[in-house]
Amino acid sequence: MTARLPPKSAGLVFEDERPRVRLTGYWVTTAVASLDDLMPSPGWWSGRAVIIDAGELQALDTAGAWSLGKLIGALESQQREWRIEHLEGHRRTLFDLVQSRRLEIRPVEPPRRQGTLEQLGRASHDHLKVSGALLGFIGESAAALFNRLMRPRHLRLRLILAEVEEAGVRAVPIVALLSFLLGVTLAYQGSVQLRIYGANIYIVDLTALTIFRELASLMTAVIVAGRTGAAYTAEIGTMKVTEELDALRTIGIPPFDLLVLPRVLGLVITLPLLTLLADVTGIFGAMLMAKSLLDISFQSFLDRIPEAISMSSFVLGLVKAPVFAVIIATVGCFQGFRVTGAADSVGRQTTLSVVQSIFLVIVADAAFSVLFSWFGI
């Protein structure tokens, strides 16, 4: 009744005279793929109690036991009774084990496509969670800073000075260059229009007010966010991946004292100084362009500055710098602590750190502008 099987193949023989299924050959991983083509149509099971005969079975492994379970599942789906004969010893044990686990395995459902409203809700929820975590981090940092200020001897001055050097001294070239180019660009664009109306001297008012009050502090903060804030996230994130943070906690050193406070205090000291440098180099660039395009001497330019702006405009630009520094350092450290063990997590959190820092700095700058306007300064 059965054809000769090729070596190491699996087979099924269905006897119509009596409801019997014979298992033949090798029901092993390399052979069971062909069994799907041998399954009969559901009508074959109709009205029958089926006997499964394993007497001609040559070998059975886990894949074969799983295929046998699929056959039994087809019977049960048609509400047919069944029993197995001649399946003894370790084969029976293996089959029973696979059957006991078969119901625990479910096919993976394809991901359901989310609607626009659901995506918006999930994104809002995620942002709220991150905002809450950031507020908690700020509170923890403020508490740690307050405790250390109450005990100044415990401040790690060496680490603070190291951060001043890293975030300040080494950032001088890039801040000076970009601020100089900013002053050159402002003066060039302004001179084109002012020359038309014969108002050459007002180039001093335009550049001095813009640089001192707004652009010097804002541009410096953006540079520092991209340079130093990203470095903070990458350093702390790498320490978390390599479990150095756990090691610090194990030996009794709070990570906030060692990693967060020195960075925050160092940047609060550094950013106003970099802003002052940006003021000087930006004005110098504007002076060069005013001399070149509008024939305004350096002395005339400098004499006009006190008439163009008040000392308060100069001070207000510097006042914003410490606030920007706290934002950049806090966000950079916060995103570093959020790094997970995944390989791409450090890069992802570093990107988020830069984007969030720049966004919050611009929001803070806008808030300062509104506040200063309310107070008439």
pTM for this predicted structure? 0.68
- Regarding whether 247 and 342 lie in a shared domain, the answer is yes
pLDDT digits (tens, 9 = 90+) for 113-123: 777 787 788 87
- Regarding whether 160 and 97 lie in a shared domain, the answer is no
pLDDT digits (tens, 9 = 90+) for 274-314: 999 999 999 999 999 888 888 888 888 888 888 888 888 88
- Regarding whether 189 and 95 lie in a shared domain, the answer is no
E strand or H helix that includes residue 221 = helix 216-224
Q: Measured between alpha carbons, how far is 182 from 216 in angstroms, rounded to an integer?
A: 9
- Regarding whether 28 and 176 lie in a shared domain, the answer is no
Domain end (from 69, 101, 133): 101
pLDDT given for residue 322 in this prediction? 92
- CATH code, domain with 97: 3.30.750.24
User: Is 243 a domain residue?
Assistant: yes
- Regarding whether 340 and 253 lie in a shared domain, the answer is yes
Range of the domain at 28: 10-101
pLDDT given for residue 2 in this prediction? 45
Q: Measured between alpha carbons, how far is 59 from 67 in angstroms, rounded to an integer?
A: 13
pLDDT given for residue 1 in this prediction? 44
Into how many domains does the chain fold? Answer: 2
Q: Measured between alpha carbons, how far is 130 from 332 in angstroms, rounded to an integer?
A: 14
Low-confidence ranges of the chain (pLDDT < 70): 1-8, 16-18, 36-48, 102-110, 154, 343
The one-character DSSP state at 78 is T
pLDDT given for residue 5 in this prediction? 47
- Regarding whether 218 and 91 lie in a shared domain, the answer is no
pLDDT digits (tens, 9 = 90+) for 317-329: 888 999 999 999 9
Phi-psi region of 11 (alpha: psi -120 to 50; beta: other; left: phi over 0): beta
